[in-house]
Amino acid sequence: MGGIVIKKTQIVSNAINRNTKEVKKLQNLIETMKKKLNLIKNIEPQLKNAEKELELITKSRKNLEELFK
């Protein structure tokens, strides 16, 4: 009878260990996603600045084209 209890306890223990490993993997994945999100947030202002610079360059080019017509 004691062997059955030990066996069931072992099965439950193994299941808990597997779940713990899966939870840890998910926590690591969440941390990775948070880091990637922060990178994206940091890039957004740089992209907006680049867009503004491109607009200025385009306007300057058009002005130069008008001057040299």
In the chain, domain spans:
1-69
Could you tell me the pTM of the whole model?
0.62
pLDDT of 6 higher than 80: yes
**CA–CA–CA angle 29, 33, 39 (5° rounding):** 150
Check residue 1 and give its pLDDT.
59
68 phi/psi in degrees, rounded to 5 = -95, 15
Residue whose token pair is 């779940």: 19
pLDDT of 4 higher than 90: no
